[in-house]
Structure 1
Amino acid sequence: MRDGYIKDYISGEEIKATPEEVEAVQVFSEILVEDYGYPKEQLQTRPQWRVKVRPSDTKKEYPIDIGVFDCNKKTDDSLFIVVECKRKTRKDGLAQLKNYLTFSTARLGVWFNGEERLYIKKTEKSGKVLFSEIPNIPRNGERIEDIGRFKRKDLTVPHNLKVVFKAIRNHLAGNTVGATRDEVLAQQLINIIFCKIYDERFTKQEEMVEFRAGVDESDKLISKRIKVIFKKVQTKYKEVIDFSDKISLDDKSVVYIVGELQNYCLTGSERDVVADAFETFIGYALKGGQGQFFTPRNIVQLMVEIIKPQPDQLIIDPACGSGGFLVESLKYMWGELESQSKEYGWSDLALQEEKMAAAIHNIRGIEKDEFLSKVSKAYMAIIGDGKGGIFCEDSLEVPKNWKDKTQQSIELSKFDVLLTNPPFGKDIKVVGESKLAQYDLASKWKKEGGLYKKTDKKNTEMRPEVLFIERSLQLLKDGGVMGIVLPETFFHAPRARPVMQFMEGHNIKWVIDLPHNTFRPHNNAKCIIIVIQKNTKQSKNINFAVAEEMGHDHQGKEIYRWDPVTQKVDKEQTWDDIKLIIEENRNRKKKYIFSVDSKSVKDRNIFVPRYYWETRDKEVEEIAKVKKLKLISIKQLIDEGVIQHFDGHGSPPAEYKGRGDISYIRVKDIVNWEVYKDPTSSIPENIYKNMKGENKNLNVGDILYVRRGSYRIGSVAMVSPHDTNVLLTREILVLRVVENNKYGLTPHYLLYLLSHRLVAMQAFNKVLIETTLPNIANRWQELKLPLFIDKNMAETVTTQIEEVINAKWSAIEKPHKVKDVHGELVT
């Protein structure tokens, strides 16, 4: 597949990957096949079917995005539905769609832009063409008048509810009368979802569902029918829906939601699909102001697969959010019960009783946010009857201050399994003397020798994720297992050492390195999963796992697998290493999973798995072997006296920036092997001399290496004759090559080597994240430079790099001459 192209879902042809194709045409093509049951033989995308612009248009000038035909023989007369995906606004899209329908025989139209969709029906009356919006389109084999006339057995399992929920949200946001805030719309959606679930559960297979919207029914009639169901829901799910709650959406909005959902069986769908779709909608309402971010479904599944909760174990999530960990744990437990049922020959009734008992008695969740606790109860109602185990409380509060019902169900030292992703963020603080008094980690810690010891002094405020570590361990019984998602900072940063030391007091069973994109675009924190067994002796080895990617990029868009050997992207395969780790945990073949001696890890005080990941190192070695390169560490070159180094000078006081003639060089100024001088940051000469000191003079040919800063680590530049009198930030390292060394290493050769892809690949293991900022610290010395075995090749490359640098310096020299002759230049 060529770059910038994808395979068309219907025709199989290679087509350009335009936003319209990727986000709309291909998505809806798959929906037509998977959800509506139309065979590909009745659909046309490539070549595009064409319709008339006017009655006299014999050339058929309008190409349509998707044509749906009522039989395999594609003719003008058999064109049934026109789907328009190109126009991005509802108004333009609707106008275009009406034009397509006016001069074609198609009776129905769909407008879909990847975010929102609508359906219209064409009626010809008294020589006029009239259009009306309808709730949906018929499935394959159905008539238009059959829309919404479903028996319970006719409902189908959806394949992509995320698209449906996104369309609902965007339609409501743009069209609902009287309610536009995301949270209000989300609450209304929850109410209507419960109507749908109720109707599915309590309608017999041969009976017509009440949750429906027909083509010829009035909006008022449909809305009234849904509100009658809601009254029943309030009685059935009184723990979730208050009697003061109501469906307050206007009738037209209710009809839109019902029309989008009526075809589907939510209770029979993949549970993670329902959860994922739910979170797609709720995500608009949850902005993370309190550090709350949904845990991606594949991460939840991984943690459950690692811990393997059993049907006889008591499970809790003290920051349960929307209930993802609880739902996935219950699914896993039910799977175990199904295996037991087969082994012991239980009846279907006995199995269902065991499943229900597990949902009611074994699942507990605490959520501080009332809205989210309601969502969590909704999830538990979708999958079982565990909704009564969810409590709206502050998990970090003194337990005796919880409501009586909560205290009866949740006690410290009671739980076998705990799974959680606690809220975190630098601006979120926990305060209160009595609250903080419960936690050792809220104390001030003092370093004595190589360890930290707790003092009698308490902090006045703490970050919630720190306290959640201790509260989670308090909730577990001895031998209980905790899986928790935490910022990477805790696993290596010296300032977070007391927290890691606290966790080391228990058995660290697993540490799993999550991709930086895991919580993006909502949160930029780089996180790690740690699995701990309470008050148990540390096992000899710690299980580690590394996921490079988990399905989406920093913008939340799907990402495809990259092959480092072929240097190509496989657009047929989503890059999700989480699935591979789950598979590896079930079998013996290991690439992403490995174990490391626990004493070795503790001695280094680095618990970040990728630092120990040999798979990446082996990839580098294999490529080096093929390319005939010899890998030598920078540390070896330092020890042998080939390379000297020193840190940058430091940062001048802010009030002096822009007040002098000496350039202050920051991380962002190391660009394209050059040093950029920002005149707004120049400082006075006396400040420069005071900060530079006597032993940190720069020489022409020195290499500047960025070792700290977002996305900049590894950037290099060579000091030119115009750069020797500059002040460097401490994040920039200075490397100096000693002449006439046995490796034939020169400044130009070193510049090339540090810029090499193999060095960048190694940096993945060495660069660790402190909250959101990457830092390689002194681990840059562990990087191995890929020197050419063939000395002639090394000399050739050195000469080429030298020519490039000389050309750059020559270009820089010309503005300096203009400046010398004609006066000061500031840019």
Structure 2
Amino acid sequence: MTVPSQDVLRKLFSDLMDRLASGDANVVRPDDRLSELCNLILLKLDGDRRAKAEGEEAEVRWRALSTPEDTARMIREWFRNFTRVYPELFTSEEERTLRLTDRSIHLVVEALEEYRLIEAGSEAVAQAFQVLRTEALRSADGQFFTPQSVIRAGVLLAGVEWDDLVIDPACGTGGFLIETFFNLAERAKGDPAQAVRWAQTHLYGVDKDHVAVKLAKAVMQIGGDGSAHIFRGDSIRRHEWSKSFPYLQSELKEGRFDLVLTNPPFGKDLVVTAEDLDASGFSIHRAGGTSMKKVPIGLVFLELAYWLLRPGGRVGIVLPETYFFSRSYRFVLDWLRPRLRPLVVANIPMEAFQQYARAKTSFFVFEKLASEPDIEAPVLFLNPHTCGIGPDGKDIPDNELWEHVLLSKKGELPPGAVQVRLGEVYRRGVLVPRYYDPRYEEPLNRLLEEKGLEGVSLGELVERGFLEYRFGHGSPDRLNRRGEVPYIKVSDLRAGRVNVNPTNLVPREVARRLWRGEESGLRAWDLLTPIRASSNIGEFAVLLPGEEERVLTKEVLVLRSTEEGEREGYTPFYLFWALSLRAVRESWRRVTLMQTNREDVGDYWKEVRIPKPKSPSWAEEVSRPVREYLEGLVQAQRGLLGLRAQEEEGFTFVPFLRPPSVGDKESENNPGGNTST
């Protein structure tokens, strides 16, 4: 027998899946085919391990006999006895029975009999198993294949010690467990066998999916037989353990583990009810005075990790960032504060999971507190922009995630990294690397220094009464988008203009309902920008005279200069000039976070800074080109007034040619409304 290479194994496994799909009528579902192939791979590994132990004289059990019927009969009997070794994995009569046809079993035995899988090397086999792992993990269930680049960086970031008892309570196919073994094996330079012994006693894993657990066991057997403590079961619902998963009750104890490494499933419908949470002793759904009826399962796994850890133990976990900045999840930081101290947060670029979902994630490392948190302690934020995976899901050489983790482990700060006081993190209510990355503010800081200017935040302008703000009105349903009042979506705010889409016009009665009155509340020269669900956040458009009758989607922020603000130089034209500076626009990226899978600024727009005018006359001078441009647009629109008479004669025009409601004496004399000239 020969030892297969990684490439040989990948092709072999892929070919077997294809041949079973086309030639076996007993198992028609992909999951069933995968489960059956996993059963046979486990059996092959069992035979290889026994042969290795008994030496050259050992009987070769895994072999094709003279007929498919004889081969299948032998394999079925062997498998029946094998299932008794893992009763927690094969829990029903159906699972203890091979369902493949005799011919398919014979085919698999023939394909594998020339190879010694057990000696192929755990890393080679783990990589080859990606063919099967990708099949095993179904995005519809929120079970996403965690890329090796993310696993490798996460294990190094969390730090694995020889004394650590490690568990992944949502282990899937064992990616974090096998990487933990690799990490320890690299350090066992004197006696590599010590890493194998360590894996046998220090690695634990649990998952509900029986196919994923089989793959995890197979990989860990090859790696060093760290499969003894990989269980199938529901690690969340502890109240069901005694009845359904008694082996979990005996193995998973409160405070037993030193390190939890996991990427729990996440998705819109993956939640745990308050009833189950109460029954299992969880508390996160009642943190901060809340009383949640259901909680995303990822947050429940975070509390499970807290329960499993001893004081001083660590958890490294992949979670969506929305839990750590969104107003809807403020209770999460309230729950964290007395329990888990954040040590490191590393950005995971979108490309990592883009094949499965657009949820923006980070890798979080927390320490279980034994006493009150030290608010002076630092939290390290890493914000790499690449992770070795391209937008198409294929490997690329650029992997800042790994590079930044390596530098941080050496005590160095990579580009964009920063250490922030824990007290400051809780004051700001944000635990997301992007928010603290100083690179987004550097262009503006350079500009201010070069021009001898000071910066002032939009929030400060609001507090001083120089600026007012409001948000959009709301969204009509699609059945109410035929009328005469333009409905403005975030995509309509482009190139400084509030564009009208002729397919989005609402009846006036619908507009009044969304306005909550007879008028829109908008004024000429208001500045508009998307603040949610748009890549154009921070790009402003100006509402010209005659465009006040608009319905704005609620994802729009409206800024308006006050009379007092204009006296200080903050005219609409200056604000538009300042907010259109490339350096200011770049700074919006810092506060544009991802709420699940949509961009969201929340209240953090108030932190955006613009140059403070040296004087009102200076502000008027630098913004003069903007004023002339906008007033020129108003003049150009007045050219359409001649169409008004034609409309009265029965001609009707598309929305952007509709005659504007301007031309009265006040507008002609002062096109900037209350703006000083």
| TM-score, with structure 2 as normaliser | 0.78
Cα distance in 2 between the residues matched to 1:579 and 1:613: 18
Give the counterpart of 1:406 among 248, 262, 277.
248
For the 8 Å contact 1:629–1:788, the answer to whether it is kept is no
Q: Secondary structure at the match of 1:505?
A: coil
Cα distance in 2 between the residues matched to 1:643 and 1:509: 40
Percent identity over paired residues: 24
Give the counterpart of 1:651 among 463, 474, 477.
474
Cα distance in 1 between the residues matched to 2:445 and 2:23: 58
Q: How does 1:307-386 map to 2 (within 5 A)?
A: 307-336=158-187, 338-339=188-189, 342=190, 348=191, 351-352=192-193, 354-386=194-226
Cα distance in 2 between the residues matched to 1:787 and 1:392: 61
Cα distance in 1 between the residues matched to 2:279 and 2:178: 33
Which residue number corresponds to residue 762 of structure 1?
A: 587
Q: CA deviation at 1:491?
A: 0.8
Deviations along 1:686-712, one digit per CA (max 9) or x if unpaired, are 853882669974344433111111434
Q: CA deviation at 1:189?
A: 3.2
Cα distance in 1 between the residues matched to 2:489 and 2:318: 33
Q: Check 1:723–1:596 CA distance in 2 against 1; reply closer, same or farther (3 A cut).
A: same
Deviations along 1:577-607, one digit per CA (max 9) or x if unpaired, are 2211221133243225431111111111111
Amino acid at match of 2:332: V
Which residue number corresponds to residue 497 of structure 1?
A: 330
Q: Check 1:250–1:721 CA distance in 2 against 1; reply closer, same or farther (3 A cut).
A: farther
Deviations along 1:702-746, one digit per CA (max 9) or x if unpaired, are 331111114342343232445221122332122346899799887
Give the counterpart of 2:270 among 424, 428, 433.
428
Q: Secondary structure at the match of 1:387?
A: coil
Deviations along 1:244-277, one digit per CA (max 9) or x if unpaired, are 3437268589759976997896743462x54344
Which residue number corresponds to residue 77 of structure 1?
A: none
Give the counterpart of 1:477 among 303, 307, 310.
310
Cα distance in 1 between the residues matched to 2:531 and 2:8: 43
Q: Check 1:491–1:160 CA distance in 2 against 1; reply closer, same or farther (3 A cut).
A: farther
For the 8 Å contact 2:382–2:433, the answer to whether it is kept is yes
For the 8 Å contact 1:219–1:252, the answer to whether it is kept is no
Is residue 522 from structure 1 mapped to residue 356 from structure 2 by the alignment?
A: yes
Q: Check 1:219–1:176 CA distance in 2 against 1; reply closer, same or farther (3 A cut).
A: farther
Q: Check 1:822–1:396 CA distance in 2 against 1; reply closer, same or farther (3 A cut).
A: same
Q: Check 1:434–1:606 CA distance in 2 against 1; reply closer, same or farther (3 A cut).
A: closer
Which residue number corresponds to residue 606 of structure 2?
A: 781
Q: Secondary structure at the match of 1:388?
A: coil
Comparing 646-655 with 658-667, greater Cα deviation is found at 646-655
Higher relative contact order (CA 8 A, sep 6+): 2
Cα distance in 2 between the residues matched to 1:747 and 1:209: 87
Give the counterpart of 2:35 among 187, 202, 217.
187
Q: How does 1:275-674 map to 2 (within 5 A)?
A: 275-336=126-187, 338-339=188-189, 342=190, 348=191, 351-352=192-193, 354-397=194-237, 398=239, 399-401=241-243, 403-431=245-273, 433=275, 435-441=277-283, 444-445=286-287, 452-453=288-289, 460-506=293-339, 507-536=341-370, 537-539=372-374, 540-553=377-390, 555-558=392-395, 574-591=397-414, 592-618=416-442, 632-635=455-458, 638=461, 644-651=467-474, 654=477, 657-658=480-481, 660-674=483-497
Deviations along 1:531-553, one digit per CA (max 9) or x if unpaired, are 22223343411122223232335
Amino acid at match of 1:538: P
Deviations along 1:550-575, one digit per CA (max 9) or x if unpaired, are 2335552456xxxxxxxxxxxxxx33
Deviations along 1:72-130, one digit per CA (max 9) or x if unpaired, are xxxxxxxxxxxxxxxxxxxxxxxxxxxxxxxxxxxxxxxxxxxxxxxxxxxxxxxxxxx
Deviations along 1:213-236, one digit per CA (max 9) or x if unpaired, are 9xxxx9987997798678667766
Deviations along 1:457-501, one digit per CA (max 9) or x if unpaired, are x65544322322222211112222122222212211233122221
| TM-score, with structure 1 as normaliser | 0.65
Amino acid at match of 1:404: P
Give the counterpart of 2:98 among 246, 250, 267.
246
Gaps of 5+ in 2: 656-677
Cα distance in 2 between the residues matched to 1:813 and 1:160: 75
Q: How does 1:83-232 map to 2 (within 5 A)?
A: 151-152=1-2, 155=3, 157-158=5-6, 169=17, 173=21, 178-194=26-42, 197=45
Q: CA deviation at 1:826?
A: 6.6
**Larger helix proportion, structure 1 or 2?**
2
Cα distance in 1 between the residues matched to 2:144 and 2:173: 10
Cα distance in 2 between the residues matched to 1:812 and 1:321: 65
Amino acid at match of 1:669: D
For the 8 Å contact 1:633–1:784, the answer to whether it is kept is yes
Q: CA deviation at 1:676?
A: 2.3
Cα distance in 1 between the residues matched to 2:57 and 2:631: 82
For the 8 Å contact 2:26–2:101, the answer to whether it is kept is yes
Deviations along 1:762-798, one digit per CA (max 9) or x if unpaired, are 3332112222222112322333458999999967974
For the 8 Å contact 1:541–1:597, the answer to whether it is kept is yes
Q: CA deviation at 1:647?
A: 1.5
State the superposition RMSD in angstroms.
Answer: 4.7
Q: CA deviation at 1:748?
A: 6.5
Gaps of 5+ in 1: 1-150, 343-347, 446-451, 560-573
Cα distance in 2 between the residues matched to 1:327 and 1:656: 54
Give the length in aligned residue pairs. Answer: 635
Cα distance in 2 between the residues matched to 1:416 and 1:405: 20
Cα distance in 2 between the residues matched to 1:794 and 1:469: 52
Amino acid at match of 1:521: Q
Cα distance in 2 between the residues matched to 1:811 and 1:555: 49
Q: CA deviation at 1:802?
A: 5.5
Amino acid at match of 1:158: Q
Q: Check 1:711–1:223 CA distance in 2 against 1; reply closer, same or farther (3 A cut).
A: farther
Cα distance in 2 between the residues matched to 1:259 and 1:786: 70
Cα distance in 1 between the residues matched to 2:28 and 2:149: 31
